[in-house]
A and B are shown apart, each in its own frame.
Chain A
Amino acid sequence: MMRFLLLFSRQGKLRLQKWFTALSDRDKKKIIRDVTQMVLARQPKSCNFLQWRDLKIVYRRYASLYFCCGLEQDDNELLTLELLHRYVELLDQYFGNVCELDIIFNFEKAYFILDEFVIGGEVQETSKVSVAKSMEEADSLQETMEEYVNKPTY
């Protein structure tokens, strides 16, 4: 399973962090520091995987933003690379031509989309249509909440 997902900028600014195991704040900070430094120091065109402690680190850069996750030894690196890509596609689908600013200003949405896609470090839904539908349902609830609560549920 995936242990964590980090989004950070080329300058090393963290944009999103998601932890799938319980860690102390100190450990989290240390991991963030070590992993961002290590990934940012990589030469362009290096391979997208590296070994760090007992974890496999898989990362990919999209424009100014690095998407990076830590995997357990059993996990499949290539598929995780595509998981990152699918996440970018989902963000793109939601925001429309997503850029780093969208994620900064709407960080909560980035979290919500991730929750629809991955839970507890495992992929729950790979279909773009399904994720979009869930997000849409949630967004529609926001506007019609008042009416909605008075409506009987399905």
Chain B
Amino acid sequence: MPAVSKGDGMRGLAVFISDIRNCKSKEAEIKRINKELANIRSKFKGDKALDGYSKKKYVCKLLFIFLLGHDIDFGHMEAVNLLSSNKYTEKQIGYLFISVLVNSNSELIRLINNAIKNDLSSRNPTFMCLALHCIANVGSREMAEAFAGEIPRILVAGDTMDSVKQSAALCLLRLYKTSPDLVLMGEWTSRVVHLLNDQHMGVVTAAISLITCLSQKNPDEFKTCVSLAVSRLSRIVSSASTDLQDYTYYFVPAPWLSCKLLRLLQCYPPPEDGAVKGRLVECLETILNKAQEPPKSKKVQHSNAKNAILFEAISLIIHYDSEPNLLVRACNQLGQFLQHRETNLRYLALESMCTLASSEFSHEAVKTHIETVINALKTERDVSVRQRAADLLYAMCDRSNAKQIVAEMLSYLETADYSIREEMVLKVAILAEKYAVDYSWYVDTILNLIRIAGDYVSEEVWYRVIQIVINRDDVQGYAAKTVFEALQAPACHENMVKVGGYILGEFGNLIAGDPRSSPLVQFNLLHSKFHLCSVPTRALLLSAYIKFINLFPETKSTIQEVLRSDSQIRNSDVELQQRAVEYLKLSSIASTDVLATVLEEMPPFPERESSILAKLKKKKGPGAVSVNELEEGKREGGELNGGGERGGDSSAIAASNASTPSPSADLLGLRTGPPVTAAAPSAGSLLVDVFSEAGVNDDGFLRDLEPPTESSDSLLAEGPGDSDSAPPTVVSEDPAPPLPESNELLNKFVCKNNGVLFENQLLQIGIKSEYRQNLGRMYLFYGNKTSVQFLNVQAKPVEPLIEGGAQVQQVINIECLSDFMEAPLLNIKFRYGGALQNLTLKLPVTINKFFQPTEMASHDFFQRWKQLSQPQQEAQKIFKANHAMDTEVLKAKLLGLGMALLENVDPNPENFVCAGVIQTKAQQVGSLLRLEPNAQAQMYRLTLRSSKDTVSKRLCELLAEQF
């Protein structure tokens, strides 16, 4: 083995390092460094040209100073000079300096690239490797521009040395990750796949990382790698521990390669070819079996390497999620690890089980370990392990065990580490809401949460409990009673006072009948906390007091006295003072009627995504909520809090047409909407049903909304309200076929909600629309551009007559029942002059209107992306740009699409990724989008992945027209 003190030893450097180490204080060290920096600077600037050795030595010193944590702002040029030295050691140090201290100074990069180019073409493997390492270390876009074409050639050339191939593969991977648009697929791609068969294990090990990354982005192109990977894996798994010589690590054959192969397979669904699949299942079984065999070595390296493969195999089994037998075996294996004496294994088992819990096949099996996990939460010494246990409990929670898990988490909170309390609080709050069967349990849980960990209860949590109490009248009395009791504790958290103040202010009357909680008692209890609270809480309490005056006139004088006291009415805080003055005045001059109106009970809150869930999602780190959970949460939430059942279930979209806007609550699905009837069994998947309370007249507008493929006899469209008042006139003329430009018109509205849908010389139709969840409302404005009346227009829902120059408005309520392809048709007939005008347009309702944006972290995005890797879930289009490729415009369009535009997710900043959930009544469809602009080629590549294939396809079609 080479000894260290080689001929290149730099004495000056060693002395300098010793000096630094001998410095007694930080100050002395800084002094010594500054001295050295001055010295080097003068040498570099000096008149005398430095020889290579000195240059190398000084550059090395600078490097050392940088690594000590000091900033280095010179020496780059000298390092670049070293690159072209013909002394290997000088070149090597030059490259090291560049790799460690990258500077995006483009002037310099050009010089560096030049040196790299020379070394790459030197055909000397050692030099080539140095150059490739440098590209991989810097990985800048300029380098990608210069070398992305060359490296694939080196990689697949027949005469390239193995070591160079290895470096080239990983170098290319780095470039692909930073600038995927510059690495063009080509003839080399198929040859790269065949590197999986390479004789040299090192080449396979390196190449497979590249293949994995390429497969993730272009699964179809690399499909053949699946069978190659399976056969390679099978050869390794079945080999004896000595077969692979130096690639055997502590008696485990090729652990790195095995894990990478298993990871590659996770980019694909289970192999379709029965033989390949059989072989793979056999491998996985062998790996599971090996876990039960006695170890071949007592060394921890042996068991770690072996278990690394085992965990990777389990990940693959979970990814496939289709082999119940393997899933259950995996779960049992993890169950064993849960009680293993190695902390690492317990940690990993908890982590893996978290993903296993979301599989339908293994959810029940995971649940059987609940006691062990609870025990881990209570007894593990290491906080990161406890954290994993808490995550797993959260993941395995369902209706059957929610009470137990929430209780355990609550009791853990009493002693939990400060670092994880806030997250625990959020999780408890979410579980309590999600699985609340009765709301008294929910209220109890949240109040306990505030009692135990009040400091960690964020605003979102107590806002949420108030929202829920206000929206559910069956729990209001109980909530009032419970907060009243909780407030009686001698010391209670300020958050409890907030909740208490709000709830008693709204619903104190519900418990006022009991003399133990008479109005005055309630007031005194609240007021006893007043002086201990912060300003915002005091402000809230003052509002509660004025509400008391309305609820209980008998408390008026007491409360007025409080308001009148100097500490309120002259409070130094403006907000408090203002409230005191205004409330006092209000209570003394307003009549009871006015008071009752002003201080009326809060109306129900519009239903929306739980703000707590959003908060937890935002928090990075373990247990960040995946989209899956989010969807589930929403679904559950809707079920619990959404209340009313909505009518109309047989068609894909039911739209109810109301001439007067209903309260916004209707839009949000809080109250039971008017049942939507009709909905013919449609040939198409879609029916828009229009009915109206408006009177029907003989003349005016007529609009029928109908499914595109439907015959006219199933065109029925009256609601219960108008069927008895006057039957709609049947139109003799069939609706006209859609205008040829209707598709184009539709496309205009994919990314926006308002605008002019149609215009000719007679008529202008404007649209304003808004969407929330699976509901939407659209306002149509019909403008008569002429100066004469449109006469004798047969009409149903809107006012029958449009004066010249006038406009009428029509409101359509829309509910998306399931996903759909075709937009509903809008048929308009009216008489202008003597002629009947008949035109049919596509109503701009497209599936993306029902998007709910989903913010997520990079990790969640990619995990989700991977979960949607089945070929039919993806739709992709490559198309030419129709408009200028302006980033801001693209962003605006993507936002208009309704998805969340995710920043810092895609490694390439040029690309856009978005995430959203399409809300339909039948289901929620999670969708991910990726748009890759290629400015040079003026092309885009658009990729959509959704849990439903038709949705991906439709979105892709719609969007391809937009950019």
The DSSP consensus for interface residues of chain B is helix
Is A127 a contact of B87 with CB atoms below 8 Å?
no
* B residues less than 8 Å from A73 (CB atoms): 859, 862-863
Contact A46-B305, Cβ < 8 Å, known A86-B249, A130-B246, A142-B6: no
Contact A119 B311 (CB under 8 A): no
Residues of B within 8 A of A81 (CB): 304, 344
Q: Which of A139-153 contact B (CB under 8 A)?
A: 139, 141-143, 145, 148-149, 153
Contact A145 B89 (CB under 8 A): yes
Partner of A153 from B124, B139, B140, B312 at Cβ < 8 Å: B124
Beyond the given pairs A15-B67, A124-B169, 6 more chain A to chain B contacts, judged by CB atoms under 8 angstroms and listed by A's residue number, are A122-B206, A123-B209, A125-B163, A125-B205, A141-B88, A154-B125
- Chain A residues contacting B136 (CB-CB under 8 Å) are 119-120
Which residues of chain B from 80 to 130 have any CB-CB distance to chain A below 8 Å in the complex? 86-89, 92-93, 96, 99-100, 102, 122-126, 129
Interface string of A4-22 (1 = CB under 8 A from B): 0000000000111100111
A125, B126: Cβ atoms closer than 8 Å = no
For chain A, residues 82 to 104, give those with C-beta under 8 angstroms from any C-beta of chain B: 82-83, 85-86, 93-96, 102, 104
A154 and B862 CA atoms in complex are apart in Å by 44
| Binary contact track A46-68/B, C-beta < 8 Å → 1, others 0 | 11111111100000000000000
Q: List 27 A-B contacts (CB under 8 A).
A: A22-B140, A46-B381, A47-B346, A49-B344, A49-B348, A73-B862, A76-B311, A76-B312, A82-B249, A82-B301, A93-B1, A94-B2, A105-B14, A107-B63, A109-B4, A112-B92, A115-B137, A119-B166, A122-B206, A124-B206, A126-B254, A127-B201, A132-B1, A142-B88, A142-B89, A143-B6, A148-B88
Q: Is B38 engaged at the interface, CB distance under 8 Å to the other chain? A: no
Q: Is the CB of A77 within 8 A of B348?
A: yes
* Distance A113 CA – B348 CA, assembled complex (angstroms): 30
CB distance B343 to A46 under 8 Å?
yes
Top 6 nearest A-B pairs by Cβ distance?
Answer: A120-B174, A79-B308, A78-B308, A119-B170, A47-B343, A122-B209
- Would B88 and A126 count as touching, CB distance under 8 A? no
Shortest CB-to-CB span from B66 to chain A, Å, is 10
- What is the distance, in angstroms, from A68's C-beta to the closest C-beta of chain B? 14
Is B584 on the interface with A (CB-CB < 8 A)? Answer: no
Within 8 Å of chain A (Cβ to Cβ): is B541? Answer: no
Residues A134 and B6 in contact, CB atoms below 8 Å apart: no
Q: Distance (Å) between the CB of A40 and the closest chain B CB?
A: 15
Do residues A22 and B139 form an inter-chain contact, with CB atoms below 8 A?
yes
**Structural contact, B67 and A53, CB atoms closer than 8 A:** no
CA distance A74 to B308 in the complex (A): 13
Decide if B2 touches A17 in the complex (CB within 8 Å): no
Cα separation A138 to B100 with both chains bound (whole Å) = 20
0 or 1 for each of B735-766: is its CB under 8 Å from A? (1 = yes) = 00000000000000000000000000000000
Is the CB–CB distance between A76 and B259 below 8 Å? yes
Chain A residues with Cβ below 8 Å from B624 are 54
- Which of A119, A128, A153 is in CB contact (< 8 Å) with B123? A153
Residues from chain B with Cβ under 8 Å of A143 in the complex: 6-7
Contacting residues, chain B, for A127 (C-beta < 8 A): 201-202, 246-247
Q: How far is the CA of A15 from the CA of B859 in the complex (A)?
A: 29
Inter-subunit contact B2/A79 (CB<8 Å) = no
Q: What residues of chain A lie closer than 8 Å to B3, measured between beta carbons?
A: 96
Contacts of B102 in A (CB 8 A): 22
Check B771 for interface membership: any CB of A closer than 8 A. no
The docked-state distance in angstroms from the alpha carbon of A153 to that of B301 is: 40
Residues in chain A near residue B171, CB distance under 8 A: 119-120
Chain B 222-238 near chain A by CB (<8 Å), digits 1 or 0? 00000000000000000
Expressed in whole angstroms, the minimum distance between the Cβ of A103 and any Cβ of chain B is 11
Across the interface, A126 reaches (CB within 8 A) one of B71, B256, B621, B622, namely B256
Residues of B within 8 A of A142 (CB): 6-8, 88-89
Q: How far is the CB of B419 from chain A (nearest CB, A)?
A: 10
B contact residues around A85 at 8 Å (CB): 301
Q: Are A78 and B170 in contact (CB under 8 A)?
A: no
Nearest Cβ on chain A to B52's Cβ, whole angstroms: 11
Task: Give min CB distance, B877 to chain A, whole Å.
Answer: 27
Knowing A77-B348, A136-B2, the reply to whether A108 touches B206 (Cβ < 8 A) is no
Closest to B624 in A: A54
B671 within 8 Å of A by Cβ?
no
The answer to whether B205 touches A29 (Cβ under 8 A) is no
Of B148-156, B382-390, B895-903, the one contacting chain A is B382-390
Closest CB-CB distance, B214 to chain A, in whole Å? 13
Which residues does chain A contribute within 8 Å of B161, judged by CB atoms?
154
- Say whether A45 contacts B343, CB under 8 Å: yes
Q: Does B620 contact A (CB under 8 A)?
A: yes
Residue of A nearest to B3 (CB): A96
A4 to chain B, nearest CB (A): 12
* Chain A residues packing against B (C-beta within 8 Å): 1, 14-17, 20-22, 25, 29, 32, 43, 45-54, 72-74, 76-79, 81-83, 85-86, 93-96, 102, 104-109, 111-112, 115, 119-130, 132, 134-139, 141-143, 145, 148-149, 153-154
Contact yes or no, A79 B305, CB < 8 A:
yes
Q: Are B305 and A82 in contact (CB under 8 A)?
A: yes
Q: Which residue of A lies closest to B266 (CB)?
A: A74
A145 touching B86 in the complex, CB below 8 Å, given contacts A51-B387, A73-B859, A78-B348? yes
Proximity string of chain B (618-643) to chain A, C-beta cutoff 8 Å, 1 when within and 0 when not: 00111010000000000000000000
CA distance in complex: A125, B624 (Å): 34
Does chain A have a CB within 8 A of B173? Answer: yes
**Per-residue A-contact encoding for B1-19, CB less than 8 Å = 1, 0 else:** 1111011100000100100
State in angstroms the CA–CA spacing of A83 and B346 once bound together: 20
Chain B residue with the shortest CB-CB distance to A133:
B163
Interface pair A79/B139, CB less than 8 Å apart: no
* B133 contacts chain A at the CB level, 8 A cutoff: yes
Chain A min CB distance to B702 (Å): 57
Residues of B within 8 A of A138 (CB): 88, 92, 126
User: In the complex, what distance in Å separates the CA atom of A84 from the CA atom of B171?
Assistant: 21
A115 surroundings in chain B (CB, below 8 A): 133, 137
Bound-state CA distance A102–B259 (Å) is 32
Q: Which of A46, A47, A54, A108 contacts B620 (CB 8 A)?
A: A54
Residues on A with C-beta less than 8 A from B99 are: 111
Q: What is the CB-to-nearest-CB distance from B662 to chain A, in angstroms, rounded to a whole number?
A: 44
Residues on A with C-beta less than 8 A from B139 are 21-22, 120
Distance of A84 from chain B, by nearest CB (Å): 11
- The answer on a CB contact under 8 Å between B69 and A29 is yes
Residue of B nearest to A72 (CB): B859
In the complex, A134 Cα to B3 Cα: how many Å?
Answer: 15
- CB-based contact A139/B858 at 8 Å: no
Is there an interface contact between B385 and A51, defined as CB atoms closer than 8 Å? no
Does B21 belong to the interface (CB within 8 Å)? yes
| CB-based contact A54/B858 at 8 Å | yes
Bound-complex Cα distance A54 to B857 (A):
8
A142 to B436: give the CA distance in the assembly, Å.
Answer: 72
Contacts of A72 in B (CB 8 A): 859
A89 to B321, CA, bound (A): 38
Contacts A119-B171, A145-B88; A126 near B385 (Cβ below 8 A): no
Chain A residues with CB below 8 A from B71, complex form: 25
Chain B residues whose CB sits within 8 angstroms of the CB of A16 once the complex forms: 67
User: B545 within 8 Å of A by Cβ?
Assistant: no
Q: A46-B381, A53-B620, A120-B136 are in contact. Are A79 and B206 (CB under 8 A)?
A: no
Complex contacts, B17 vs chain A, CB 8 Å:
104-105
Q: Is B800 an interface residue (CB 8 A)?
A: no
Residues of B within 8 A of A129 (CB): 246
A113 to B139, CA, bound (A): 20
Contact B126 A111 (CB under 8 A): no
Cβ–Cβ < 8 Å partners of B173 in chain A: 120, 122
